[in-house]
Structure 1
Amino acid sequence: MNQELFHTDDDFRDHLSTVSENGKRLWVYPRIIKGKFFKLRSVFAWILLALMFGLPFVEVDNHPFFLFNVIERKFIFWGVTFFPQDFHLVAIGLIIFIVFIILFTVIFGRVWCGWACPQTIFMEMVFRKIENWIEGDYRAQKRLDASPWTSEKIRKKTLKHSLFFLISFLIANIFLAYIIGKNELLRIITDNPANHIAGLSSILIFTGTFYYVFARFRENVCTVVCPYGRLQAALMDKKSMIVAYDYQRGEPRGKVQKNTESPLNQDKGDCIDCALCVHVCPTAIDIRNGSQMECIGCTACIDACDMVMDKIQKPRGLISYNSTEGIENKKKFRFTGRIAAYSGVLLVLTGIMTFLLLTRGNTETTILRTPGLTYQQEKDGSISNLYNLQILNKTSQNLSITLRIKDFPAAKVKMVGTDQIQILANDLATASFFIAIPNDKIEAGNLKLQVEVVSEGKVIDAKKTSFLGPVK
């Protein structure tokens, strides 16, 4: 990089742009410019918001489309229920998601943060718009915060923070609906609050957290708390597409007259040093300093710079989606070996996940001999063993279950307390049963048997177990 052309603030990486020299927080008042990318992000944000608020109320076979019930260890993804017994599937799914984020970051940088992260969407597309609607633009907000407490200021601040709290309360309820389900949430809302102290407390805790994040903490979530900003430095390289300033075209900075080709302007770049890219940045960085951890890739600086370029009749794209290599060597994006490697890993993991999902059984059966017991001799002379049974029904239908022994006609199954096991949809049933075998049919002290789980005449699962008898 030609440092003679690239004018930077040498200490910009040594401190946060939102913190003063004495450690005091500098409040950010970003200017909003409704350019091409802002409009695209707004449409995309409203689609994601509609999905987020709507999915808890979407059901498949009377079950939520998405559910993350940590309390009961029950998870539903795309209408498919996963239990602790399916932990390997959840783990592989999380690995696939992480690899996808890594691949996306390698190619497009921190585009997730600027376009799809809930923090950015709520802050920039909901809370920031409400703030501008009530208090005015960035200049009006500065004046209001600097002014003494008048009736107008109290009215505006009260209205703003009341709306912030109500929206945070709504978000908290939706967030809780993903955990306990909409039916349970509606029951808590409509019932006497005294009967649901735990649920109400959870909602209030979530509400307070969301309110604090969007009313006060704001960009610090991205620059201080979120680890992804620091992780991206290890994932991106010179070929990654990021929001970047073309320093070769923009430097040296200086005021340029429109429609002027005089020698006085030939030694200047296209950047007129208006600092509008800084004024619109929600994390208050100067993108002209190069790639920075605080940049969330929101494209606000692209819209601002394009507007300025239009005014001075210069080509757009001084700030754009580009790679460091593209700026330095004018190289276009290429499919690299690193991208191919991550893509290959992602395809393999996706293939494994698909195979496991397609071969996933409708039930999960566990059969264990009752600990502390060997065998019992019945009155008719047969030998019996006692077993404990657990059957997890992964389907959305109730099941009637019977047991039988495969390829051993002499072995009989005797259930304890019932002839059939009734299992509710997406539920776990436990039972006990005996396997009895005539003594003269036992050829060894330890037999290997296969127990078949039968529902409506079809074998839906099978498990191997051992049968102890007298040593002969």
Structure 2
Amino acid sequence: MDKQKIDVKNIPVEVKIHRPAADTTTKYASRDRIYIRSVKGLHQSLRRNMGFIFMSLFFLLPWIPYHGQQAILLDIGEQKFNIFALTLWPQDFTLLAWIFVIAAYALFFVTTFYGRVWCGYLCPQSVWTFTFMWFEEKIQGTRNQRMKLDQAPMSFNKFWKKALTHFCWLAFALFTSLIFVGYFTPIGPLFLNFFTLQAGFWAVVSVLFFTFCTYGNAGWMREIMCTHICPYARFQSAMFDKDTFTVTYDEARGENRGPRSRKDTDYKEKGLGDCIDCNLCVHVCPTGIDIRNGLQYECINCGACIDACDDTMTKMGYPKGLISYTTEHTLQGKPAKVFRPKLVGYFLVLILVCVAFVVNLTIRKPLELDIIRDRGALYRETPEGLIENTYTLSIINKSQQPKTLNLSVLGIEQLKWIGDTEVILAGGESRNVVISLALDPYYAKKPVLDVSFTVTDAGQPELTISQENKFFAGR
């Protein structure tokens, strides 16, 4: 067999390092501030109304009373969440998990169908940012007025406008923080104690921390949260397809762009499209992008550019829809598919997790029982010669109504119960009940006997919970 010779080449192993030029004058460009221009239209009216409803619910819910207490109180210290008639304990963590799973798949479903509309219409970051922009516009003026104000040297007019703006931001951030902390501690005493300087250390720290976060996020960071920090901006494209409705510029209709007068009716003969290059779509964008450059992950689908463009098209006498919620297939002249495998899959999974949540909520009993044995000794002998075991019955009333509970034990007829046989628990109350079981050694057939503790609701005898345990006879 002929042997083929393989040529061997020497490969240089020297690594050349290219060091940057020693230019100490070059600096990184700071982030350009985005001056948002106010715009009116269908989508902005819808966004404002939805944001107002969402914010109103956030502000009002912790003030609603229910059966003499705060309707929604997520008491971390007591390890219980009161949500109207529902009380969730650490044992009910699965219900919270189901709620998060439902929220996640609802977000996936909406994103696949209509893009990133959650970000543009209901995300707290967007709602609070637009609110801060509203303060800014009312105090400092329109977009052009704000730009001139920032470029002007410091003066009394500039100082008081800037100071009033930041005062309003801080006041609104403080109010927001107090409401937020009020979901985790009784909100009435929180407001009273905070403004009378009697609030506890952790309450004050929490309020100031969230005030700073709200002020920084909505007042200063704004679009940075959406474009660089929020993970949703990064993975949202995985849920998009060619039938997802997104804010899109119709390039075939708009190009070539260029200015012209309203009376110019032969612009198409000059090679121009419907876009007059007014840049209003850029001026109204809260993330500062140009939608005409195509779909970008920074776009939050708020529809501001749609309203600005539609207004311009109306003034020019052109058809609306140069920028609109549309699909890639629609722009290509193909029919959009609403019922497609990915969307149907998300919908089915969403229905399944909703059913699972309802089932778990339905089978959940309003009582919880946990048995803790005496850790000091398995058993002891009483002066009467009986064998005694001590237990701690940890009972939780998960409902919001008071309950009278009867305690009993099954398994050994000759057992003597020492302790309370009836317990009254208020709504949402938990209690440890210490009891003992005593048995004559004559009836102890085995060293370890099985017993079953039972808790029965006196008002609803059908509501019964039981838990198995052991009785140590010592022989």
Could you say whether these structures have the same fold, taking a TM-score greater than 0.5 normalized by the shorter chain as the test? yes
Distance in 1, matches of 2:217 and 2:230, equals 13
Counterpart in the other structure of 2:12: none
Determine which of 124, 141, 152 is the counterpart of 1:136: 141
Provide the secondary structure at the position in 1 that maps to 2:178: helix
Matches within 5 A, 1:319-334: 319-334=323-338
Counterpart in the other structure of 1:253: 257
Is the Cα contact below 8 Å between 2:242 and 2:329 reproduced in 1?
A: yes
Q: What's the CA shift string for 1:199-240, capped at 9, x where partnerless?
A: 223222222221222222222111122111112122222221
Determine which of 275, 280, 284 is the counterpart of 1:271: 275
- Runs (4+) of structure 1 moved beyond 6 Å? none
Distance in 2, matches of 1:236 and 1:188, equals 49
1:26 aligns with 2:32: yes
Provide the secondary structure at the position in 2 that maps to 1:397: coil
Matches within 5 A, 1:9-408: 22-124=28-130, 126-189=131-194, 192-194=196-198, 196-255=200-259, 258=262, 262=266, 265=269, 267-406=271-410, 408=412
Counterpart in the other structure of 2:430: 428
User: Larger radius of gyration, structure 1 or 2?
Assistant: 2
Question: Which one-letter code corresponds to 2:158 in the other structure?
Answer: K
Is the Cα contact below 8 Å between 1:381 and 1:438 reproduced in 2?
A: yes
Is the Cα contact below 8 Å between 1:66 and 1:76 reproduced in 2?
A: yes
Is the Cα contact below 8 Å between 2:407 and 2:421 reproduced in 1?
A: no
Deviation at 1:167, TM superposition (A): 0.9
Q: What's the CA shift string for 1:241-283, capped at 9, x where partnerless?
A: 1111122222222345546654853743222222110111011
Distance in 2, matches of 1:164 and 1:427, equals 40
Provide the secondary structure at the position in 1 that maps to 2:56: helix
Matches within 5 A, 1:410-425: 410-415=414-419, 418-425=420-427
Counterpart in the other structure of 1:15: none
Is the Cα contact below 8 Å between 2:411 and 2:450 reproduced in 1?
A: no
Counterpart in the other structure of 2:445: 443
Deviation at 1:331, TM superposition (A): 2.1
Deviation at 1:374, TM superposition (A): 2.5
Deviation at 1:26, TM superposition (A): 0.5
Deviation at 1:381, TM superposition (A): 4.2
Question: Which one-letter code corresponds to 1:434 in the other structure?
Answer: S
Distance in 1, matches of 2:395 and 2:259, equals 76
Is the Cα contact below 8 Å between 1:59 and 1:79 reproduced in 2?
A: no
Distance in 1, matches of 2:268 and 2:361, equals 68
Question: Which one-letter code corresponds to 1:150 in the other structure?
Answer: S
Distance in 2, matches of 1:391 and 1:170, equals 38
Unaligned runs of 5+ in 2: 1-25
Question: Which one-letter code corresponds to 1:77 in the other structure?
Answer: I
**1:333–1:313 Cα change, 3 Å:** farther
Deviation at 1:336, TM superposition (A): 0.9
Distance in 2, matches of 1:336 and 1:407, equals 58
Q: How many residues align?
A: 448
Q: What's the CA shift string for 1:383-412, capped at 9, x where partnerless?
A: 332112211121223334332123643233
Is the Cα contact below 8 Å between 2:178 and 2:191 reproduced in 1?
A: no
Distance in 2, matches of 1:211 and 1:231, equals 27
Is the Cα contact below 8 Å between 1:375 and 1:385 reproduced in 2?
A: yes
Counterpart in the other structure of 1:11: none
**1:302–1:83 Cα change, 3 Å:** same
Distance in 2, matches of 1:264 and 1:368, equals 85
Question: Which one-letter code corresponds to 1:432 in the other structure?
Answer: V
Is the Cα contact below 8 Å between 2:85 and 2:400 reproduced in 1?
A: no
Distance in 1, matches of 2:242 and 2:32, equals 32
Is the Cα contact below 8 Å between 2:267 and 2:273 reproduced in 1?
A: no
Provide the secondary structure at the position in 2 that maps to 1:329: coil
Structure 1 window deviating more from structure 2 (432-441 vs 254-263): it is 254-263
**1:266–1:463 Cα change, 3 Å:** farther
Structure 1 window deviating more from structure 2 (52-61 vs 424-433): it is 424-433
Structure 1 window deviating more from structure 2 (331-340 vs 25-34): it is 331-340
Provide the secondary structure at the position in 2 that maps to 1:178: coil
Distance in 1, matches of 2:278 and 2:267, equals 22
Provide the secondary structure at the position in 1 that maps to 2:395: strand
Deviation at 1:86, TM superposition (A): 0.7
Distance in 2, matches of 1:414 and 1:395, equals 28
Distance in 1, matches of 2:308 and 2:27, equals 28
TM-score by length of 2: 0.88
Distance in 2, matches of 1:78 and 1:346, equals 24
Q: What's the CA shift string for 1:135-183, capped at 9, x where partnerless?
A: 1100000000000111111111111111111111111111111121323
Distance in 1, matches of 2:322 and 2:334, equals 13
